[in-house]
Chain A
Amino acid sequence: MTTTPPARERPPRGSRYYRPRRAISWVALLLGVALGIGGGLYIAWQVAPLEEVDTEPWQLNEQNRHDFVVAIMLGYAQDGNLGTAVTRLLELRPSGDPIQYVADVACSLARSGYVDSASGERAIRVMMTFYTNQGRSGCADTLLPPVQLPSPTPSAGDATPTPPRAPTKTMTPTLEPLAQSPTPDIRVAPTVVPQGAFEVVRLEQFCDADAGGLIEVYVQNSNGNPMPGQRVRVAWRNGRSDFVTGLKPGQPGDYADFAMETGISYTVEMPGLSDPSRVITSERCVDFRGRSTQTSYRVVFRPAF
């Protein structure tokens, strides 16, 4: 006799045989977490990174790090607080010695056009003083002569008894007798290589006793709109003066002026941005109301391209 095995009974629906052993799949969960973290980081770093705010000095680009170092040194030169200066230098997170870093920055600036301006040279000298006092050295020590002597001595052929005062923008021009006018002097070629970004589009002479002996400078964009905050330089034989457009109250934003002295030859330029203008000299003249005064000039700079 053979016995047949009992027929397989179908488990009732809802029994544990119909249900997975665990409610969640740990493998799937971990895989999801991994994918999610990857996606989250991609979104956070690539798609929607945080907006750049609260930038710290160490995050600055190299040029602006140099600017910051210069500022620290200028502050130190005024307050003499070495601790604050070093703390601020450390905020830049230099790779090595923070004071040597100042020497390296001074070296870099001394090799660049930064040193062409009196202000830049003074800043580098402040930096040199700082790091040499701390026993460091840099290439700026050799690039800049150790002592800057003023050059007030006129040449033998110069008829001017004393070198001209550095005129200011607000100085009232003083009329001098024609007999004291020196012979036309020789302008020294500028040392800054012009970059040609701006050019003199107008240079005209005029005679007005209300603005006698002035160089009126206007810096405008291509459309003739004012460009305030532009640096302009007037140079003469024994000196130069830098000033900025748009700072004179009651004048348009593209305006700046300079008071000339009679008989001195000047050039006008935007340092590093334009060639020097032709030489201009203020002389005696009589304006349309019959008033005796000095000639003035109007110089307009605009972008060259």
Chain B
Amino acid sequence: MDDASPVTHHLIRVSMVRFLVSLIIGAVIGLLVGLYLGWVQFPVEFVNSPISKLAPEYRDDYTVMIAKGFQADGDAVGAVDRLRVLNISNMPEYIFQQAERYISISGDIADIQALIALSEGLGRTSPLFDQYRQITPPGGA
């Protein structure tokens, strides 16, 4: 027994080291896999979000739709009311900027005209807007 004991102790120590090293390696691999799964493959999906958190393209869509509503009924107060949920600090400026941006990227003419109408309804205009007033959108009114 006395002769075997150092060997046994050594083997136990080596096995423990082997176990711990394997555990750590596994944990690191697992952590990386877990982070990948949690952040990339299955990220947290938020629900019950406020409309102010909408992705920029949807915010733009929403604004255009409200602007079209303004085109139809001329109700600036109603339009401002509906856009307030976007938490915009300076609404006339926001609409004006979006109209200019749509013009700069050659956006849909009907969308631009709606934004121009709302921007001007809120007191902001630009010489850039002039030419769009004379255009009839394809197939549009």
Smallest CB separation, A30 vs chain B (Å): 6
**Bound: A54/B53 CA distance, A:** 7
Given A27-B19, A31-B23, 8 new contacts (CB under 8 A): A24-B25, A28-B20, A28-B23, A37-B30, A43-B35, A53-B53, A53-B55, A60-B54
List, sorted by A's number, 21 A–B pairs whose CB atoms are closer than 8 Å: A8-B3, A8-B4, A18-B11, A25-B22, A29-B22, A29-B25, A32-B24, A35-B26, A35-B27, A36-B30, A36-B33, A37-B34, A43-B31, A55-B53, A67-B85, A71-B62, A74-B66, A75-B68, A77-B72, A231-B77, A247-B92
Q: Which of A23-76 contact B (CB under 8 A)?
A: 23-45, 49-50, 52-57, 59-62, 64, 67-68, 70-72, 74-75
Given that A43-B34, A77-B69 are contacting pairs, would A119 and B77 also be in contact in the complex, using a CB cutoff of 8 Å?
Answer: yes
Q: Does B105 contact A (CB under 8 A)?
A: no
Residue tally, chain B, CB below 8 Å to A: 68
How many A-B pairs fall under 8 Å by CB?
221
Q: Please give me the residue from chain B that is nearest to A13 by CB atom.
A: B10
Instruction: Indicate if the CB atoms of A20 and B30 lie closer than 8 Å.
Output: no
Which A residues are within 8 Å of any B CB, using their own CB? 8, 10-11, 17-20, 22-45, 49-50, 52-57, 59-62, 64, 67-68, 70-72, 74-75, 77-79, 88, 91, 117-120, 122-123, 229, 231, 242-244, 247-249
**Bound: A73/B31 CA distance, A:** 47
Chain A residue numbers with a CB within 8 Å of B24 are 32
**Bound: A34/B28 CA distance, A:** 10
Which B residues are within 8 Å of any A CB, using their own CB? 3-4, 7, 10-11, 14-15, 18-39, 43-51, 53-55, 58, 61-62, 64-66, 68-69, 71-73, 75-78, 80-82, 84-85, 91-92, 110, 114, 122-123, 140
Residue among B21, B61, B72, B73 making CB contact with A88, cutoff 8 Å: B61
Smallest CB separation, A234 vs chain B (Å): 12
6 interchain residue pairs of minimum CB distance: A40-B34, A36-B30, A44-B38, A32-B26, A119-B78, A74-B69
Instruction: Indicate if the CB atoms of A20 and B11 lie closer than 8 Å.
Output: yes
Smallest CB separation, A56 vs chain B (Å): 6
**Bound: A44/B43 CA distance, A:** 8
